[in-house]
Amino acid sequence: MSNKKTHGGRREGSGRKRVDFKLILRVGQAYMRREQLEYEAQKRALLEDKTNLQEFYNYINDIPMDERKAFVGSADHIDHSKAIDEELRSLKQPNNIQGDPSRLMRITKLYGSSTRIRNEVAEAFGLSAVQVKNYLQLYRAFLRAQK
């Protein structure tokens, strides 16, 4: 066996072949682009989420002042309170002391999204998912070295 670290036998040309660095860059950029597109789609879906709370708020404001006291204990008021609580829970935003929700929203990666994106990139470049994962590690190391 050869003393050289070429991952192969003694014959000329045997062993693991070097990967073109341009391919690593293209794969890494494609992965990052798809990851960014998914993040933007999640952000857009979260910010464009339409609810009927504005309509309900307008409905409440249309109630004359003398009838509002009767509204507080009604079934509509209970539905309104539940809807607001449910929306705050779904957005994971705690109320502050004044009852106003915080404006901080956390967008997290969906479970399995990295694997799905890796598989999409692998299919687009004709590689295996493991190769894409390894190339992505090299690409991220390259980006860290550039900083």
Query: Would you state the pLDDT for residue 30?
Result: 96
Average pLDDT, the chain: 79
Regarding pTM above 0.75, the answer is: no
* Tens digit of each residue's pLDDT (9 = 90 or more) over 24-75: 999 999 999 999 999 888 877 776 655 566 676 777 788 787 777 777 778 8
More confident: 27 or 87: 27
| CA pair distance 17, 58, nearest whole angstrom | 68
C-alpha dihedral sign at 38, 109, 22, 135: negative
Nearest CA to 91 among 79, 104, 78?
104
pLDDT in tens, 17-30: 788 999 999 999 99
Locate the domains of the chain by residue range: 21-146
Write the DSSP symbol of residue 48. Answer: T
Paired residues of 101 in beta bridges: 95
* Residue 26: other Cβ atoms inside 10 A: 16
